[in-house]
Structures are given as C-alpha cells and as structure tokens.
Amino acid sequence: MKVAAIQMVSGISLDANLSEALRLLRQAAACGAELAVLPEYFCFMGHQDADKLLLAETPGLGTVQDFLADAARDLKMWVVGGTLPMATDDPLHAANASVAYNPKGQAVSRYDKIHLFRYDNGREAYDEANVLVAGETPTTFDCAARDGQHWRVGQSVCYDLRFGELYRLLAADVLLVPSAFTHTTGQAHWEVLLRARAIENQAYVIASAQGGLHENGRRTWGHSMVIDPWGQVLAMQATGPGIAMAELDMTELQRVRQQLPALQHRKL
C-alpha cells in the first residue's frame, strides 16, 4: 500500500490552508497514494492558542470535516485529517481530534489527543491544557488496501510520541503521528523517537508534520517521514510543504516480526 505523509506550513487563513491541503492531497493521489495523512493543525495555526476555539466544529458537522470527507471521496483514498479543533461541553476548551475517512468519504475513526504538550525553556513556552481537553481512548481502525490487504492502523498525535506505552496498547501494523513539533524539540528528538516507536513496535510509522516558519511566528521542525518496522527511514520531506511517499509491504512487516519475535517475548 502506497502512503503519503503530507507536510504543510499552515497559516491563519482557513480557506488558504484547505486549498493547500487539497493541492497536496491531489498530488499524493496522482502518485498512487492509497492513504494520506495530513499534519496536526493542518487547517489552522492562529496567532494564539485560544484562536482555535473559534473554529471548533461539532462532530459530524463543519467546514473542515466536510472538506476531508469530500477529498477522500473525490480522490478515492483514505485521508486522515491530522487534527482539527472539535467542540466540547466546555466552550473554553476544545478537543484536538484526528479523524480518518475512507475512500467513500465516511468518517471511520476519531482519536482525541491524549497527552497535552507543555514546555518552557525560558524563551519558548507552550501549554496546550489552557485551551484543550485531553482525550482518554487509544484508537485504531482497519484500513483496507486496494489489493485486499487489511492493515491495523493506530492513531496518535505529536506529543503522544514521547509515551511509548500508548503504542504498545495500539498493537498496530501502522502508526500515525500527525504533528506540529517545535523546531527546538524536533531538532533534538523527532527522528530518534519516531524510529524508536517503529523499532519497538515492529510497525510502519507515518509521521506528517508542520515544517517551517508560520505567519504567527512559530517555527516548526518538519522532517515528515515514513519509517519501516526495522527503523529505516523510507522517505522524508525536510522543510516546507511537500510529501513523503513510500510503499508499505505486509510481507516485510511479517518478516521482521518473525525473524526477531520481540513482541512475543514481552513480559510486562
């Protein structure tokens, strides 16, 4: 199954972001992608965190969800909408939701980011809990490829990457990590964490990122990647908008798991 990790440098205009996302999704589809994953906050990167509350959508209803459904149906491929703000019972907090759509344009899975990022090095400070509610449920979905092969796909978002126990619970063939890693933390930890998650879970990893200098002044690391179960980087988009594409091979995944049956050797 050919997959695409889509990298963007999203700005403050919803319409402009959706237009750019569609351009990249079309490019991925033209190259044969069956599954395309957009980055975290692909639809909006506001001047401040609270701005995303203005765009929070009702589950199953909204401009961004309609866009994702239409794109998946029109392009006849699986589309995972990185993340978008989803309304909660608390008007001052939204969920950071990653929604997966099948080639018929149907929403088949929603994962709300469980681990909320907080960081302060004296120069940069972030605290997602100010405007986001943490999710509680590890989430997977079944992705049927065109060749009839079924893949168990595990969902996660950005900061989740630092919590290896989540990926053990997912027990997936493919791990998704749509992200907006800061340049500082990404430069230090992004690739090593992604490769570790691939190796220890003997799974493919599709990590779609924000990658560049945004209108709001934030700088993200980028380096969107597709990684195989042995930890090798199969494709990468370093900076700026673009696509990292690779072929997932179930035979290769099974070979790795058979030759080094680490998953069977777990004691805890």
The string of pLDDT tens digits covering residues 139-181 is 999 999 999 999 999 999 999 999 999 999 999 999 999 999 9
**Does residue 247 have a pLDDT over 90?**
yes
CA 253 from centroid of its chain's CA atoms: 21
- pLDDT tens digit string along 173-217? 999 999 999 999 999 999 999 999 999 999 999 999 999 999 999
Q: What is the pLDDT of residues 91-121, one digit of tens each?
A: 999 999 999 999 999 999 999 999 999 999 9
Ramachandran quadrant class, 225 (left: phi over 0; alpha: psi -120 to 50; beta: rest): beta
Q: Which helix (H) or strand (E) holds 95?
A: strand 94-101
Q: What is the pLDDT of residue 26?
A: 98
Measured CA to CA, the distance from residue 205 to residue 67 in angstroms comes to 25
Query: Domain tally for the chain?
Result: 1
* Catalytic option among 20, 34, 52, 113: 113
Active site residue 34: no
Work out the average pLDDT over 217-245: 98
pLDDT above 90: residue 62: yes
Q: Is 40 a catalytic residue?
A: yes
DSSP 117: P
Q: Which residue has the tokens 């590890």?
A: 138
Full residue range of the structural domain in which residue 251 is found:
2-265
Query: Among 24, 94, 34, 25, which Cα is nearest to 59's?
Result: 94
Give me the percent of the chain exceeding a pLDDT of 70: 100
Q: How confident is the model at residue 268 (pLDDT cuts 50, 70, 90)?
A: confident
What are the phi and psi torsion angles at 35 (to 5°)? Answer: -135, 125
Instruction: Concatenate the DSSP letters of all residues of 39-81 into one string.
Output: PTTTT---SSGGGGGGG-BBTTBSHHHHHHHHHHHHHTSEEEE
Report phi then psi at 151, rounded to 5. -115, 135
Looking at the chain, list the stretches that DSSP marks H as alpha helix, in order from N- to C-terminal side.
14-30, 63-75, 164-170, 183-185, 191-201, 250-259
Task: Give residue 174's pLDDT.
Answer: 99
CA distances from 113 to 5, 71, 200 (A): 19, 23, 21
Our answer to whether residue 76 is catalytic in this structure is no
Q: Pick the catalytic residue from 40, 43, 57, 128.
A: 40
Rounded Cα–Cα distance for residues 250 and 174 (Å): 10
- Among 121, 94, 99, 120, smallest CA distance to 110 is for 99
* CATH number of the domain encompassing residue 86: 3.60.110.10
Question: Which of these is catalytic: 20, 43, 57, 158?
Answer: 158
pLDDT bracket for residue 254 (50, 70, 90):
very high
Q: What is the pLDDT of residues 23-44, one digit of tens each?
A: 999 999 999 999 999 999 999 9
Q: Which two tokens stand for residue 216?
A: 């709001």
